[in-house]
Amino acid sequence: MDLSTGYMGLALRNPLVASPSPLSHTLDGIRRLADGGVSAIVMFSLFEEQLRERAERTYRLVDEPAESFPEALGYFPSVVDEDVGPRGYLDLLERAVSAVDIPVIASLNGITPESWTGYARAMQDAGAAAIELNIYYFPADPEISGPDVEQRHVDVFQRVKAAVTVPVAVKLKPYFSSPGAIALRLDEAGADGLVLFNRFLYPDIDLERLAVRPMVDLSSPADARVPRTWIALLRGKVRASLAATIGVEVPADLARYLLAGADVVMTTSALLRHGPRYATELLDGLSSWMRHKGFQTVDELRGKLSAPDITDHAAYERRLRHSDASRQRRRLRPLVNESAARDDDLEPAKQRRESSVDLRPVALVAKSRGPRHASTVAGMPAFRPVPATGAPHPQAAQPRQRQ
Ligand SMILES: Cc1cc2nc3c(=O)[nH]c(=O)nc-3n(C[C@H](O)[C@H](O)[C@H](O)COP(=O)(O)O)c2cc1C
């Protein structure tokens, strides 16, 4: 079975790529990812604020950043690991590149277009096979318009693209009024890859401590439908390679993304849940399915179920929605009845807790408090998902007594 594929001009032995996660925080973790069977590794992101803070502290730069992060963003935590500042990141990248025999892609998390082309170059010099831009820009200020947000993405991309010769991918969020339009703009601007989509780290509210706490839910296969639809719609319409990310849990998810038209499929949640060796299981499952269906190569199946090249994409979406709508309705009816019969809704909450990761022990630091040293950041074991502990406080779970 030939699983080889191409991504942004990189020849990969299979279409499964490890997306950024704490699994790449250490050399040991990176080796384990490579041994586990993925064909490339995108390292965790180096955050621009982190770059800036470090640079200011180390070199006493006085320039104010062109953009300041809105205060409200303190609400949205970022993964900040003091032990892996720019120097540490570049050292790790360099060591990773020589330690594994698969491409290592560096990930840069930028907000301002101006401040970090130098780091992109440094990543290239450290041996990064490509650079993925994780433009984790959250327009918390309601005065910022949609076109402004889009322009920032294009500006950031163009700056970095002009600064390096390695391929540059942009990891997009799905929250554009027209995700296809920004994808086309970036493609026209020369993006080598589009990664669909990022997941934002939305915080939760701790009712016991009356505090906001960082929280990441690992994804489930249902979350793959949004990126898969956009991959299917963009296949054949952009020159850029398409990377699918979100919601791979079983081999079928991998196959579905490829059928939709992904050049590569990335995964974080599955590797966090089951460990880096799970990559081999996913790939073996893909191979068996391909054998069963008579496909010899990934190229034969890629894009087989992408959106037809019609101008009326809305019609395609409607067709997807309605093609088996009655079957869906029959499937949903018992669930609807069952849930109506239930007098409490704690069950879904319980299920959710089982796939949640409480990132407090892994050094998620709220921006409002500023980046800190995180002594807990070490190797992969510390980052393995643990079931979130915070069961609702008994009182919080009780219905309120009527006076
Ligand atoms: C704990 C954790 C840390 C992450 N760190 C990063 C990061 O540094 N940079 C990035 O671009 N994405 C990061 N992501 C997002 C993942 O790379 C991935 O895009 C997302 O989890 C969706 O894929 P999945 O459904 O396979 O988990 C992180 C995700 C998790 C769960």
Give 172 Cα–ligand 1 centroid separation in angstroms. 12
Per residue in 71-98, pLDDT (tens digit) is 233 333 344 444 457 888 999 999 999 9
Rounded distance, CA 38 to CA 102, Å? 8
Q: Which amino acid is at 304?
A: K
pLDDT reported for residue 203:
76
Rounded distance, CA 354 to CA 248, Å? 17
Please, where are the H alpha helices in 61-109?
A: 86-99
Which residues form ligand 1's pocket by a CB distance below 6 Å? 19-22, 44-45, 79, 107, 134, 171, 198-199, 216, 218-219, 245-248, 267-269
Q: Low-confidence residues of the chain, pLDDT below 70?
A: 48-84, 110-115, 201, 309-403
Token duo for residue 135: 């433009």
Write the CA distances from 285 to 220, 253, 329, 339, integer angstroms. Answer: 18, 10, 30, 34
Give 246 Cα–ligand 1 centroid separation in angstroms. 8
Q: Where are the domains of the chain?
A: 5-310+356-393
Query: Coil, helix or strand for 169?
Result: strand
63: CB partners within 8 A, 6+ apart:
none
Tell whether pTM > 0.95: no
Mutate to test the pocket of ligand 1, among 42, 105, 138, 199 (most ligand atoms within 8 A of CB): 199
pLDDT reported for residue 249:
96
Per residue in 278-294, pLDDT (tens digit) is 999 999 999 999 999 99
Provide the strand spans (E) within 228-347.
241-245, 264-267
pLDDT reported for residue 311:
58
Mutate to test the pocket of ligand 1, among 16, 17, 21, 358 (most ligand atoms within 8 A of CB): 21
**Structural class in CATH, domain 5-310+356-393:** alpha beta
Residue nearest to atom 2 of ligand 1 (CA): 21
Adjacent-strand bridge partners of 41: 18, 104
pLDDT reported for residue 327:
65
Number of H helices, E strands in the chain: 16, 16
Residue nearest to atom 10 of ligand 1 (CA): 20
